[in-house]
Amino acid sequence: MHCVCIYHYGGPEMLTCTEAPRPRCGPGEVLVQVHAAGVNPVDWKIREGHLKEQLKHTFPLVLGWDVSGAITETGPGTSRLKTGDEVFSRPDLLRDGAYAEFIVIKESEVARKPRTLDHVHAAAGGVGSLAVQLAKTRGAYVVATASARNHDYLRGLGADEIIDYEHMRFEDLAPAMDVVLDTIGGDTQERSWKTLKPGGILVSLVSPPSTDTAAKLGLRQAFVFVQPHAAQLEAIADLVDAGKLKSNVETILPLSEAKRAHVLSQGGHTRGKIVLQIV
């Protein structure tokens, strides 16, 4: 099969288009023919070796852990899914990813894709745009930070207030918040403490917020790292089919343009998703 892998950590030039044997599925696994693979920031972070302490990879490594496709083979001990099912997944980051024509995934990490979306759109959207919509489904009042070009987009997703972080200091404008979701880290994370009400929680996806600062300010903190989970994916598919969750695909590229996709992702201003279309 065609795939894109890396043999060493490094820049986008490490992404190599190559041929590899089609993987076979073992017990509890399914073989998925990849139709579309989402390109996420974690892909270039792994490519550059930023996560090599946490994730012990071996090379060559196929990148890409966000996939939509069709099951072509099921391993012994699988029962929930069958050949021909159209599925999506956020597979295990420790194993080969989806920049390939085929990927083997544990059945427990795979869900049927939303009926109302094609494969390109079934790769879940960028974190911020989904977080806004999920918070609205839970009845939250949502304040979002974004550059001006994204304000109409965020309003369309349901954000109640939008702060232009490029021209204003969000910590002076945000009302007292119960929860802050940090997808940026660094100085943005530090300044976020000021926006929380007593007992509020700062949740980061990028780096663990200081426990000392949280204790000193009477606040809480958490660091979350996404785990593959079929039941959660099924709940997301149901929200999509109910019209409550939309994803925006900014760029669609062929597998052979994985390098360009990484340069775009690393730019840090993707609206929604970058997708490699394989079928």
Ligand X SMILES: NC(=O)c1ccc[n+]([C@@H]2O[C@H](COP(=O)([O-])OP(=O)(O)OC[C@H]3O[C@@H](n4cnc5c(N)ncnc54)[C@H](OP(=O)(O)O)[C@@H]3O)[C@@H](O)[C@H]2O)c1
Smallest separation, CB 7 to ligand X (Å): 23
Smallest separation, CB 262 to ligand X (Å): 11
Sign of CA dihedral 118, 123, 128, 133: positive
Between residues 110 and 124, which has the closer beta carbon with respect to ligand X? 124
Between residues 119 and 271, which has the closer beta carbon with respect to ligand X? 271
Angle between helices 230-241 and 127-137 (to 10 degrees): 70
| Of residues 77, 37, 43, 41, the one with CA closest to residue 57 | 43
User: What's the Cα-to-Cα distance from 119 to each of 31, 65, 236, 245, 264, rounded to whole Å?
Assistant: 16, 15, 15, 16, 21
Between residues 111 and 163, which has the closer beta carbon with respect to ligand X? 163
- Whole-number Å distance between alpha carbons of 189 and 204: 8
The separation between CA 236 and the C-alpha centre of its own chain, rounded to angstroms, equals 13
- Which residues, 6 or more positions from 17, have their beta carbon under 8 angstroms from its beta carbon? 2, 3, 4, 255, 256, 258
CA atoms within 13 A on the CB side of 177: 24
Smallest separation, CB 101 to ligand X (Å): 24
- Whole-number Å distance between alpha carbons of 56 and 116: 37
Between residues 168 and 226, which has the closer beta carbon with respect to ligand X? 226
8 Å CB contact between 258 and 99? yes
Smallest separation, CB 165 to ligand X (Å): 4
Between residues 215 and 224, which has the closer beta carbon with respect to ligand X? 224
Which positions lie near ligand X, rule CB under 6 A?
A: 40-42, 45, 126-128, 145-147, 150, 165, 183-184, 188, 205-206, 224-226, 265, 268-271
Smallest separation, CB 71 to ligand X (Å): 25
Length of the chain: 279
Between residues 171 and 238, which has the closer beta carbon with respect to ligand X? 171
Smallest separation, CB 244 to ligand X (Å): 19
CA atoms within 13 A on the CB side of 213: 15
Between residues 86 and 109, which has the closer beta carbon with respect to ligand X? 109
- Which residues, 6 or more positions from 242, have their beta carbon under 8 angstroms from its beta carbon? none
Smallest separation, CB 174 to ligand X (Å): 12
